[in-house]
């Protein structure tokens, strides 16, 4: 009946690429999510992000209120304004979620991350690593004749900058906690 022929390869794109968005500009937002501290709650939050195709740049979680059974999850995510709004609404729908705060829009906030860097080397490089660590206020928490472990806290871009400097000096291993954040003032 219909003579329509689809060219081979014409259907290789995902349908989801065709979906228009309100604004194409992606923004980075830090969300603080207060959740019931119960088994599986982290899986619910992570499952939401993977199931709906949202980004997670970093995620930290720990109990913050023992008597109230509340944990705080701090998520740094990337998305268009519409996607960010969806993420917040979808998080709010999870029955175990008590509160969702977008620290990026709710006024000024402070963000900190802790990281550990193992740097191996000898001679000048070793001296230079130690000197830079001092400038960045990183502490030496372990040392051998051929390595240091530095501990550093700060905003994520400070840690990125430190990592960039350590790389040519023998950076061997990195561990980062992800961002914890609080609003400023009261």
Partner 1 sequence: MVVQALIDQGVDTVFGYPGGAVLPIYDEIFQQNSIKHILVRHEQGAVHAAEGYARATGKPGVCLVTSGPGATNAVTGLTDALMDSIPIVVLTGQVPTFMIGSDAFQEADTVGITRPCTKHNWLVKETDKLSGVIHEAFHVATAGRPGPVLIDIPKDVQFATGTYETLKPSTSHYQPQVKGDMEAITELVAAIETAKRPIFYTGGGVINSGPGASQLLRELVDATGFPITSTLMGLGSYPASGKHWMGMLGMHGLYEANMAMHDCDLMINIGARFDDRITGRIDAFSPKSKKAHIDIDPSSINKVIKADIPIVGDVGHVLEDILKVWKSRGRKTNQSALAQWWSKIEEWKSVDCLKFTQTGKTIKPQHALARLEALTKDHDRYICTEVGQHQMWAAQYLNFEDPNRWMTSGGLGTMGYGFPASIGVQMGHPEALVINVAGEASWLMNMQELGTAMQFNLPVKQFILNNERLGMVRQWQELLHGERYSHSWSESLPDFVKLAEAFGAKGIICSDPDDLDDAIMEMINHDGPVLFDCLVEKHENCFPMIPSGKAHNEMLLGEADTQGVIDAKGSVLV
Question: Is residue 3 close enough to count as binding partner 1 by CB under 8 A?
Answer: yes
> Dihedral of the CA atoms 118, 120, 124, 130 (nearest 10)?
20
Q: Report if residue 89 touches partner 1, rule: CB under 8 A.
A: yes
State which of residues 6, 25, 135, 145 lies at the interface with partner 1 (CB under 8 A).
6
Stretch binding partner 1 (CB under 8 A), from 19-27, 126-134, 139-147, 177-185:
19-27
> What's the closest the beta carbon of residue 43 comes to partner 1, in angstroms?
6
Tell which one of 24, 51, 67, 135 touches partner 1 (CB under 8 A): 51
Closest CB to partner 1 among residues 18, 135: 18
The verdict on 67 binding partner 1 (CB under 8 A) reads no
For the four alpha carbons of 91, 109, 180 and 68, in that order, the dihedral sign comes to: negative
Running DSSP on this structure, what letter comes out for residue 22? S
Question: Per the structure block, which two tokens stand in for 93?
Answer: 């729908």
Among positions 10, 25, 135, 145, the unique one binding partner 1 when judged by CB under 8 A = 10
77 vs 181, beta carbon nearer partner 1 = 77
**H/E run at residue 139:** strand 139-143
DSSP strand pairing (109-120 vs 97-102) = unpaired
Token pair recorded at residue 133:
């660590």
């Amino acid at each position: 009946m219909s003579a329509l022929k689809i060219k081979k390869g014409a259907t290789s794109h995902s349908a989801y690429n065709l979906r228009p968005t309100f604004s194409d500009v992606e923004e980075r937002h830090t969300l603080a999510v207060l959740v019931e501290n119960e088994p599986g709650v982290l899986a619910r939050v992570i499952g939401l992000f993977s199931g709906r195709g949202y980004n997670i740049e970093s995620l930290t979680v720990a109990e913050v209120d023992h008597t109230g059974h509340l944990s705080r999850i701090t998520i740094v995510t990337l998305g268009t304004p519409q996607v960010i709004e969806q993420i917040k609404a979808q998080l709010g729908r999870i029955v175990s979620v008590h509160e969702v705060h977008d620290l990026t829009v709710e006024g000024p906030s402070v963000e900190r991350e802790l990281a550990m860097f193992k740097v191996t080397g000898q001679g000048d490089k070793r001296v230079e690593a130690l000197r830079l660590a001092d400038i960045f206020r990183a502490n030496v928490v372990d040392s051998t004749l051929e390595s240091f472990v530095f501990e550093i806290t700060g905003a994520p871009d400070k840690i990125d900058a430190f990592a960039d400097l350590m790389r040519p000096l023998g950076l061997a291993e990195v561990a980062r906690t992800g961002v914890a954040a609080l609003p400023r003032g009261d």
